[in-house]
């Protein structure tokens, strides 16, 4: 495990999560109707998911409550499926239902790395 490299990606993931929360603070209606909000959120989700793929396998194996494979698949949809259209309802669902637990897991990883 390259701990320093993992730390960099963990910090980037947390930054992305914080920005997504900031961009979506005005709720679903704002997200659904403002293309600039959608663009910002989708870009941050994409880069966040990319960073999760770059975490060491050793670190990811220690965190069983995160579906790393699903995050990778989500990233691939965001990156490669843009021409057929992104389902904004599914993205919003991910933000509301999955981002908080991901944030909690990533913050826990970050705290553990800080203790080491």
Tell me, yes or no, if 75 is annotated catalytic: yes
CB 71 within 8 Å of CB 49: yes
DSSP code at position 81: -
Among 25, 69, 80, 115, the one annotated catalytic: 80
- H helices, E strands: number in the chain: 7, 0
| DSSP state letters, 15-55 | HHHHHHHHHTTT-HHHHHH-HHHHHHHHHHHHHHHHHHHHS
Output the CA torsion 19→20→26→32 (10° steps): 140
Among 5, 75, 107, 115, the one annotated catalytic: 75
Tell me, yes or no, if 80 is annotated catalytic: yes
CB 61 within 8 Å of CB 29: no
Tell me the catalytic residues: 75, 80
């Amino acid at each position: 495990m390259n701990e320093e490299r993992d730390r960099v990606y963990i910090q980037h993931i947390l930054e992305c999560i914080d920005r997504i929360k900031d961009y979506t603070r005005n709720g679903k209606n704002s997200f659904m109707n403002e293309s600039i909000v959608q663009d910002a959120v989708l870009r941050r989700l994409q880069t966040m998911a990319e960073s999760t793929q770059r975490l060491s396998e050793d670190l990811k194996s220690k965190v069983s409550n995160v579906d790393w494979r699903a995050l990778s698949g989500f990233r691939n949809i965001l990156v490669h499926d843009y021409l057929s259209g992104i389902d904004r309802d599914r993205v919003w669902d991910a933000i509301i239902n999955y981002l908080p637990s991901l944030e909690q897991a990533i913050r826990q990883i970050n705290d553990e790395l800080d203790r080491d």
